[in-house]
Homo-oligomer: A and B are copies of this chain.
Amino acid sequence: MGTELLLGTTINTDAADVAVLLSEYGINVYWQTVVGDNPGRVAEAVRRARGRADLIITTGGLGPTCDDLTKSALAEGFGIPLELDRGEEAWLRGIWAERGYSELTPNNLQQVWLPQGSTPLRNDWGTAPGCYFEREGVRVIMLPGPPGELRPMLEHRVRPILAALSDGVIVSHNIHFFGIGESEMEYRLRSYMQELTNPTLAPYAKPGECLVRVTAKASTAAEAEEMMAPVIERVRREFGDLAYGMDGTDLAGHTVRLLIERGVTLACAESCTGGELQKRITDVPGASAALLGGMVVYTNMAKASLLGVPERLLEEKGAVSREVAVELARRVRERLGSDLGVGITGLAGPDGDGAHEVGTVFISLADGEHVWVREKHLTGRSRALVRLHSCQHAFDMLRRYLSGLSVTEGGPEA
């Protein structure tokens, strides 16, 4: 609930967060309604929801300002008085004392007036508690609106309620992939997905990669795992080494952790990605154990002066070439004294250079003996996507190298 959603200045991520959790417990969502901070319309939304749902979840409108009116609207809609919850009051006074705030004002105390007989849901990530009650077969859960409060409340307060209501447990695993699109994945899995009812399979697209979620409902977690094992096995067999991991982070995080675990050091020379690869590596805390450093050789001058790429090679082959990619990886590795070197050179667009198609990129990986190069034609993509996918290929080459898989289809360049 919230006027800011109706103005469009805030995007409604709360609705999606609630829906994801509900779907984990097999609870079907039929309606999502957004209304402004207006008592009449909030009351009407409550009336409608009450007539058509077994479970009503509200987000927002629990705070101390005068436009926060969810609790009174819900209480009125269900004919329940609000009363001061002594336990939450004590907790709130404790916070005020701890933070050295001045006396609690009546509008701050308003946060701990809850529908009579409801169970407070302690909000350790904010100051407005949520609450839970059941009336005439309808269950109501009220939650705070800020995503930073809502998400932990869903995980730590709502999940146990749903688990208690649900007859059994729901367990999911995500299998992560690079090198295949969501639609091809869906196409190849379609008939198998249709055969399955429990566990279920669903592919999801993420920026530059995708995943398949396997979900089982069973009476115990162990039983759910047992049911999922053959499904996971079959998906992994279907796609082979395109799967890079399970239940982990994205490809960048996975690869950086592999580097750190194996004690392998890295240096990078980036042209068209302009620092994005190194930025993404250093998004991971502790990355200094893996990335010694590197260069952004965005101009030909920088390629020559920082790395000594021969100017003749740059002239003859062009900066966007297999040969220059080889030099970038090899020379940055030598320059930093790292185990591995990675180079990226390409044309991210939107303007062309008259010689290559926009989206032509060469990604290279050097160890002490060999250099591998991938040539990609990431055409029809925005500048941002060409750069993102170029980095994804660099991560994929690294993770394949570290996992003993073939780095490129054709083998090393040199």
Contact = CB atoms under 8 A, between A and B. Distances in A.
Interface string A29-58: 111111110100100000010000000000
A279 B283 CA distance: 13
Contacts of A22: 8
A305 interface: yes
A8 B12 contact: no
Contacts of A6: 19, 28-30, 32
B23 A17 contact: no
B23 A16 contact: no
A9 to B, nearest CB: 7
Shortest 3 CB-CB contacts between residues of A and residues of B: A274-B282, A293-B302, A8-B19
A17 B8 CA distance: 6
B32 A33 contact: yes
Contacts of A18: 8
B8 A16 contact: yes
A5 B14 CA distance: 11
29 contacts: A5-B15, A6-B28, A7-B20, A8-B18, A8-B19, A8-B23, A9-B204, A10-B16, A11-B11, A30-B41, A31-B35, A48-B48, A273-B282, A274-B281, A274-B287, A275-B275, A275-B279, A275-B281, A276-B279, A276-B282, A286-B351, A287-B298, A293-B297, A294-B296, A294-B298, A294-B302, A301-B336, A305-B336, A306-B335
Contacts of A23: 7-8
Contact of A282 (B35, B36, B298): B298
A325 B71 CA distance: 53
Contacts of A142: none
B301 A306 contact: no
Interface of A: 5-13, 15-23, 28-36, 38, 41, 48, 204, 268, 270, 272-279, 281-283, 285-288, 291-299, 301-303, 305-306, 335-337, 349-351, 383-384
Contacts of A279: 273-276, 279
Nearest to A48: B48
A31 B349 CA distance: 41
Most chain B beta-carbon contacts within 10 A, residue among A204, A268, A285, A350: A285
Decide if the interface of chain A is mainly helix, strand, loop or mixed. Answer: mixed
A48 B52 CA distance: 14
Contacts of A288: 298-299
A149 to B, nearest CB: 16
Given A291-B296, A293-B306, A302-B292, A11 B8 contact: no
Contacts of A272: 282
Given A15-B34, A278-B274, A296 B268 contact: yes
A38 B204 CA distance: 22
Given A32-B33, A279-B273, A293 B295 contact: yes
Most chain B beta-carbon contacts within 10 A, residue among A18, A275, A282, A294: A275
A278 B48 CA distance: 52
A8 B20 contact: yes
Nearest to A277: B275
Contact of A275 (B276, B285, B292): B276
A47 to B, nearest CB: 12
Most chain B beta-carbon contacts within 10 A, residue among A38, A285, A295: A295
A293 B299 contact: yes
Contacts of A5: 15-16, 19, 32
B301 A293 contact: yes
A335 B18 CA distance: 53
A302 B275 CA distance: 16
Contacts of A21: 8
A15 B8 contact: yes
